[in-house]
Amino acid sequence: MPVIIPLLSAVVLIFFRKFRIFSKVFNLFGSLALLTAAGFIFLFVDNEGIQTLSIGGWKAPFGIIFVADTFSAIMIIIAGIMSSAASIFFFAMVDKEREKLGFYIFYQTMIMGVCGALLTGDIFNLYVWFEVILMSSFILLVLGSEKKQIEGAVKYVAINLISSVIFLSAIGLLYGLNGTLNMADLSVKISASKDTALMNTVSMMFLVSFGIKSAIFPLFFWLPASYHTPPVAVTAIFSALLTKTGVYAIIRVFTLVFRQDMTFSLTVILILAGFTMVTGVLGAAAQMDFRRILSFHIISQIGYLLMGLGILTEYSLTGSVFFMIHIIITKTILFFVSGIVYVAYGTYDLTKVGSIYKWFPFIGLLFLISAGSLAGIPPFTGFWAKFFLIKAGFMGEFFVISSVGLFVSILTLYSMLKIWNEVFWTDTGCEFEVVNNNLKSKSKGFKFSMYFPVIFLLIVMLAISFYPEPVYYYAEKAGKELMNYTNYINAVLRK
């Protein structure tokens, strides 16, 4: 269902792309329908355990099978929420030219790819969905054809195509070793084999390939080069869904498929996690542009997600899942806020924007809460997420990575303070009349679609912050399922 809905929306949008308003509304409608479907899947998974759906009626491992466990159900629901929120944001933020060229078509196919990737239980099918995402994101990225967009896109395309080549080769080798493509079946076969070395080689190829997509150290180069070039609405949804789908794939593959002897792979993952956190946050600290700081931060946060995987306990995976929920919501809010600032000031340059705190305390508040959450200030979601991960780290006696995690959060605080100081406090000589006019002159509908998604997501985030219990419950459930992967295998192979 979550795959079909965006597809249908995309098809409808193809025919009606000339009608701007219709496209906008229908796009939102499609996203909401997706959210509803995701809600149903979530309920099913919650009540009846892991759900499977064999496409075309062929049983696993022969046909392709879609699987929804708690983790993917959570991810799908978040994808639904984010795509709906972004769809509202698009009302204000996507311009006419882009709409005429079918912006929403590509948006919907991208969502479709994301949902497919989150649900599939077949490794080659995962590749296909990734290509769908990639192709759509390429186009979303270059639509508009501004000089810098194209420049960013060249790097994005080149590096991601390489990721595809590595992915494809890895699948070939994996098939050559095990003769099957279903992930659950692979897991069984791999556990039975004694050959760790070759399997590690193949698993590392997957790590690299997904690592490129999720922008881990030292494979993240495409992200800072391209993410800040398209319109902010696109950046926001990219950051919410694309890199996170990559991380999802890493977590899925390493908690399900390569569970044989994990000493080598976990060590590698932990080391990479540490470097990813540090280089990401330092990269952010070096920037002088609102959106580039945020983009670099994506990398740093990916490190935390990997840290939970590298520790690999029920608790740490719970931490990772919680962190995933937290970071998707928080990061999207921050990008949206940067978009609002851009509407007012017409630039993302820290040295040019100023005095927001003085003139628009409300925007300041929106930024403040989400930035605080990102930096891990209690009691916001970021605090809980980091708290779980650090605690998991201490419990497993991974003191180095835990200290790195703590230290990075002070650097995160530093770079958030940098934005706050430069953009919100400093008087950079902007004129109040001009800026205020930029905001005031917009229509009511424009303002609504600009502020509503931010406020909505902020309320969601605050609700999770002050009452983390339910979300934690599901994160814990997902963590347990990931750790005890035999349930997944049994559900898929009907044992």
The one segment of 32-40, 174-182, 233-241, 455-463 that binds another protein by CB under 8 A? 174-182
CB of residue 29 to another protein, shortest distance in Å: 20
| Whether the Cβ atoms of residue 50 and residue 60 lie closer than 8 Å to each other | no
Residue in this structure with the two tokens 């009540």, named with its chain if needed: 47
266 binds another protein (CB under 8 A): no
| Region of 44-52, 241-249, 285-293, 326-334 interacting with another protein (CB under 8 A) | 285-293
Site string for another protein, 30-59 (x = CB under 8 A): -------------------------xx-x-
Smaller CB distance to another protein: residue 85 or 269? 269
The distance of closest approach from Cβ of residue 60 to another protein in the complex, given in angstroms and rounded to an integer, is 10
Which among 220, 228, 413 has a CA at the least distance from the CA of 302?
A: 220
* Site pattern 315..354 for another protein (x: CB under 8 A): -----------------------------------x----
Q: Does residue 402 touch another protein according to CB under 8 A? A: yes
Query: 27: closest CA among 141, 106, 143?
Result: 106
> Which of 16, 44, 124, 456: binder of another protein (CB under 8 A)?
124
Binding residues with another protein: total (CB under 8 A): 134
**75-104: contacts with another protein (CB under 8 A):** 97, 101-102
The residue written with tokens 């249908």 in the block is 8
d(CA 109, CA 415): 35
Residues in 422-481 at the binding interface with another protein, rule: CB under 8 A? 425-427, 467-469, 472-473, 476
Q: Which residue has the tokens 């309920």?
A: 43
Residue 70, interface with another protein (CB under 8 A)?
Answer: no
CB of 256 to another protein, least distance (A): 18
Pattern 189-218, another protein, x by CB under 8 A: x---x-xxxx-xx--xx-xx---x-----x
Taking Cα atoms as reference points, which of 399, 395, 257, 386 lies closest to residue 324? 386
Amino acid (1-letter code) at residue 253: V
Among 378, 455, 463, 486, binds another protein (CB under 8 A): 378
Does 166 contact another protein by CB under 8 A? yes
- Whether 100 and 20 have beta carbons less than 8 Å apart is answered as yes
Report d(CA 121, CA 187) in Å as an integer. 11
Contact between 20 and another protein (CB under 8 A)? no
Cβ neighbours around 58 below 10 Å, total: 11
Would you say 173 and 197 are in contact if contact means Cβ atoms under 8 Å apart? no
Distance of closest approach, residue 228 Cβ to another protein, in angstroms? 7
Q: Which residues pair with 54 in a beta bridge?
A: 65
Q: Which CB atom, from 88 or from 408, has the smaller least distance to another protein?
A: 408
In angstroms, the CA 124 to CA 84 distance is: 29
- Distance CA(75)–CA(114), nearest Å, equals 10
Closest CB 318 distance from another protein, rounded Å: 10
CB atoms within 10 A of CB 379: 14
Using rule CB under 8 A, residue 400 touches another protein? no
Contact yes or no for 337/363 (Cβ under 8 A): yes
Cα separation, 323 vs 291, whole angstroms: 21
Is 26 a residue that touches another protein (CB under 8 A)? no
